[in-house]
Amino acid sequence: ETGVTQTPRHLVMGMTNKKSLKCEQHLGHNAMYWYKQSAKKPLELMFVYSLEERVENNSVPSRFSPECPNSSHLFLHLHTLQPEDSALYLCASSQDRVSKNIQYFGAGTRLSVL
Amino acid sequence: TQLLEQSPQFLSIQEGENLTVYCNSSSVFSSLQWYRQEPGEGPVLLVTVVTGGEVKKLKRLTFQFGDARKDSSLHITAAQPGDTGLYLCAGYYGGSQGNLIFGKGTKLSVKP
């Protein structure tokens, strides 16, 4: 148990569906992250929130829309995804964006787009 | 391009063997972290190294940060099936940039 909880753990969706991934951290951290993990690729940083403000968006397509309503919760809203978006989506949190940036990860959501 | 190269990509060994995996970059890092990721789970932090030349031990795992803070190694002594997983290194440049740069990982399988 890392203190970061992601739901759902598995998700299958069609290309026309709309779904949301949820992340909750119980560590009192101020920064939260979304990563995409695909086979044979390094973890790809998608979005960074610091103190509930989005501070980074790494050229992610607009079909991915993040939301951070408070410092403990992070969402990733998905719509009209493509099959190549199938991957493991990981949420992480850290105390802040400095101090060695030690990140704690959730177990991930395994997403399959049909 | 900021890159962290990990080698080998795959490693399959028998229980009781020793092994070393490597993490290399042309960039200098403020700190470097090692994570282990088991199937169906997220990465779990093993250690953070900060000082050039630093050596840290975690039971049978020994981590070393290169003197120039560009590379790191992880040595496992007497590997056990429970060591099976994906080992990821992640470099941190520090300052306002604040992001971790991950390698692709080394997938380790330890057979009984």
CA A102 to centroid of chain Cα atoms: 16
**Interface contact A111, partner B, CB < 8 A:** no
Closest residue by Cα to residue B92 from B13, B39, B27, B15: B27
pLDDT for the residue B100:
85
In this prediction, residue A21 has a pLDDT band, given cuts at 50, 70 and 90, of very high
For the four alpha carbons of A30, B98, B6 and A36, in that order, the dihedral sign comes to positive
**pLDDT tens readout for residues B52-82:** 999 999 999 999 999 999 999 999 999 999 9
Q: Which long-range contacts (CB under 8 A, 24 or more apart) does A58-64 make?
A: none
**Interface contact B39, partner A, CB < 8 A:** no
**Is the model's pLDDT at B97 over the cut of 60?**
no
pLDDT for the residue B95:
67
Strand partners, B23: B6, B72
Q: Name every chain B residue with its beta carbon within 8 A of the beta carbon of A40.
A: 104
pLDDT for the residue B34:
97
Q: Name every chain A residue with its beta carbon within 8 A of the beta carbon of B103.
A: 42
Q: Name every chain B residue with its beta carbon within 8 A of the beta carbon of A108.
A: 41-42
**Is the model's pLDDT at B27 over the cut of 70?**
yes
With an 8 Å Cβ cutoff, are A105 and B33 in contact?
Answer: no
Instruction: Give the end-to-end CA distance of chain A in Å, rounded to a whole number.
Output: 31
Closest residue by Cα to residue B56 from B37, B32, B88: B32
**Is the model's pLDDT at A47 over the cut of 60?**
yes
In this prediction, residue B92 has a pLDDT band, given cuts at 50, 70 and 90, of confident
Q: What average pLDDT does range A20-26 have in this prediction?
A: 97
**Interface contact B40, partner A, CB < 8 A:** yes
Residue B84: exposure state from Cβ atoms within 10 A (0-12, 13-18, ≥19) = middle
Question: What is chain A's mean pLDDT, rounded?
Answer: 91
**Interface contact A40, partner B, CB < 8 A:** yes
Q: Name every chain A residue with its beta carbon within 8 A of the beta carbon of B86.
A: none
Q: Name every chain A residue with its beta carbon within 8 A of the beta carbon of B41.
A: 107-108
Strands A109-113 and A10-13, by their bridges, are parallel
In this prediction, residue A24 has a pLDDT band, given cuts at 50, 70 and 90, of very high
pLDDT for the residue A32:
94
**Among candidates B4, B100, B104 on the partner chain, residue whose Cβ is nearest the Cβ of A103:** B100
Whether the Cβ atoms of residue A5 and residue A104 lie closer than 8 Å to each other: no
With an 8 Å Cβ cutoff, are A105 and B88 in contact?
Answer: no
**Is the model's pLDDT at B1 over the cut of 70?**
no
Q: For A23, phi and psi rounded to 5 degrees?
A: -135, 135
Give A30-90 as a 3 state SS string: CEEEEEEECCCCCCEEEEEEECCEEEEECCCCCCEEEEEEECCEEEEEEECCCHHHCEEEE
**Among candidates A42, A98, A104 on the partner chain, residue whose Cβ is nearest the Cβ of B98:** A98
In this prediction, residue A57 has a pLDDT band, given cuts at 50, 70 and 90, of confident
**Is the model's pLDDT at B51 over the cut of 90?**
yes
**Is the model's pLDDT at A26 over the cut of 90?**
yes
**Among candidates B40, B42, B94 on the partner chain, residue whose Cβ is nearest the Cβ of A106:** B42
DSSP label of B11? E
Q: Measured between alpha carbons, how far is A57 from A52 in angstroms, rounded to an integer?
A: 14
Q: Measured between alpha carbons, how far is A113 from A86 in angstroms, rounded to an integer?
A: 5
